[in-house]
A and B are shown apart, each in its own frame.
Chain A
């Protein structure tokens, strides 16, 4: 049996703080991405849930909804796409809560690593999962009659905005994951926030038939701006200020939520 070697046998690498911050985040992102491939039900459920809404709205409610001069399926795709991104972010809440409940977070905390790297890892893996689910949703939409007019630049912009939105909502989810007391709570908190936000928006219906107060909320909340911008890019509906507003909202959320989540994570160490 080999003897455990002395500590002097092993060299620690010398690099800058920034290098290690990136390295730590990358190691923990790889970990979370491996979870996706080994836990395929998460990936499928992220794609499956919006898919059910997709088919429900496309074939059951869609015929009764008046979207003016574009077909309902063309109206719907942007809404479903953004809803899928929002639901997907709930896995940041869940996976973070699971880590916190189990002993592994104590191990990470006892290591000489950059504190925020565990959060970054979950958020980054969430982005990967969302991009895969996003491709599935877009793929299916073509099967049910989606006819986009977007050119390559428009698709690039859609892709970029989707990344920005996914990051923004994942960082909010990270905060929720740090605040919930149990894994069960993590499962429903996401939906409590995300359900009203996706339904009281321009995701599934035009907002102009809603009661005044609801309409004001729906037209001014970030999800509607993101949806309007993506819809405009995909099928050519007027975007107005939504593009800039969507960009500003998402960037603003990231700028605020990232340090808040990191602070919360640090604070929990110092109980």
Chain B
């Protein structure tokens, strides 16, 4: 959250104060089906140059499919997608020259070293030999991979692979980058490193479309967030706009006895009450600070309900979904699964 001001400055410098920023990515009415299953059901959004857009949604929402269409790996059934004004279907070769893609699974050659992976992809982007070498050195430095650069990738840890994978997609400094769940499965430390790198990229003027299942990640990195579910956009806006709708912080109470849970739900009857029977938790949007906390606890105490713990937390993807659709991500996606990736 702390970096947003810096980033806005940087993007303003790029496009100039008074010139409206152009759209680096434009998507209109994108539809894609696999046999009977409609994976994308009319998606529209635009990403301004030098900004980050997060596609937020659960598994099977259509995030990866969208990224695959934008990176020319898939053809849409209908609709249009433009990268810097170029059609991803008709001008696919030109589009490929200006995008970088980092997928959910590290797309690296296991038997080659870090340097060899970077050199190979650099040359396939058709850069000059000296540029490939120079960029490789810079990227290894930037991603803290210099020491491991002469080892085969199969000896790398998960975090190192993800970093190298991102480095490889940056070798040609493409103006538009797609990051498909860049931090899924990473430990917290590697995740923070990735966030730092992504922020640096944006501050240098790169346009980024990232997908995530994590509200917190979208909040940290994105200028705009598009919430998608079942192939449809269900909400869109800046992080602040979304938070106004879903509340910025939640008070979560864990009830000690499962038998008290239904009673507790009645007692804490506030707007935007979310609950999870399995974990015996209730959560409400915080408003009144200490007063609200005291009130809720004394109400529960009056009803003779024992409270196990109390905490404040930021909203999760489930909270977003409960607020926007009235059901959790699991319920809404029982029958739609991601098509096989590959």
Contact = CB atoms under 8 A, between A and B. Distances in A.
A18 B101 CA distance: 26
A4 B200 contact: yes
Contacts of B126: 12-13, 15, 20, 23, 112
Contacts of B101: 106-107, 110
B116 interface: yes
Contacts of B142: 1-2, 4
Nearest to B98: A7
Nearest to B197: A4
B108 interface: yes
A5 interface: yes
B125 A7 contact: no
A91 B139 CA distance: 33
A61 to B, nearest CB: 38
Interface stretch (A76-84, A95-103, A164-172, A209-217): A95-103
A39 B111 contact: yes
B206 interface: yes
Contact of B107 (A2, A4, A100, A104): A104
B258 interface: no
A270 B124 contact: no
A168 B260 CA distance: 74
Interface in A1-55: 1-7, 9-13, 15, 20, 23-24, 27-28, 30-31, 34-35, 38-39
Contact of B128 (A11, A269, A270): A11
Interface string A107-141: 11111110000000000000000000000000000
Contacts of A105: 107, 342
B204 A4 contact: yes
Contact of A31 (B99, B109, B135, B174): B109
B292 to A, nearest CB: 43
A184 to B, nearest CB: 15
Nearest to B75: A270
Given A11-B131, A34-B111, A6 B173 contact: yes
Contacts of B97: 12, 112
B213 to A, nearest CB: 19
Interface residues of A, number: 41
Nearest to B99: A110
A27 B118 CA distance: 12
A106 B103 contact: yes
Interface string A231-259: 00000000000000000000000000000
A260 B121 CA distance: 26
Contacts of B123: 23, 27
Contact of B204 (A6, A20, A102, A110): A6
B116 A34 contact: yes
Contact of B111 (A2, A9, A38, A269): A38
B182 interface: no
A101 B342 contact: yes
Contacts of A112: 93-94, 96-97, 124-126
B112 A31 contact: yes
Contacts of A31: 109, 112, 116, 120
B120 A109 contact: no
Contacts of A30: 120
Given A6-B173, A35-B111, A102-B105, A113 B124 contact: yes
Interface in B119-145: 120-121, 123-128, 131, 135, 138-139, 141-142
A103 B138 contact: no
Contact of A2 (B98, B116, B138, B152): B138
A10 B109 CA distance: 24
A4 B127 contact: no
A11 B173 contact: no
A109 B170 CA distance: 16
Contacts of A23: 123, 126
A11 B127 contact: yes
Contacts of B310: none
B152 A38 contact: yes
B173 A10 contact: yes
A104 B111 CA distance: 12
B58 interface: no
B173 A7 contact: yes
Contacts of A109: 72-73
B154 to A, nearest CB: 9
B35 to A, nearest CB: 11
Interface string B151-189: 010000000000000001110111100000000000000
Contacts of B105: 102-103
A111 B121 contact: yes
A145 B205 CA distance: 70
Contacts of B71: 110
B20 to A, nearest CB: 20
B125 A3 contact: no
B192 interface: no
Contacts of A12: 97, 125-128, 172
Interface of A: 1-7, 9-13, 15, 20, 23-24, 27-28, 30-31, 34-35, 38-39, 100-113, 269-271
List of 8 A-B pairs having minimum Cβ-Cβ separation, nearest first: A103-B107, A107-B107, A112-B96, A103-B105, A112-B97, A7-B173, A110-B101, A38-B111
21 contacts: A1-B141, A1-B200, A4-B173, A4-B200, A6-B205, A7-B172, A10-B131, A10-B135, A11-B128, A11-B131, A23-B126, A31-B109, A31-B120, A39-B111, A103-B103, A103-B104, A103-B106, A107-B103, A107-B107, A112-B96, A113-B124
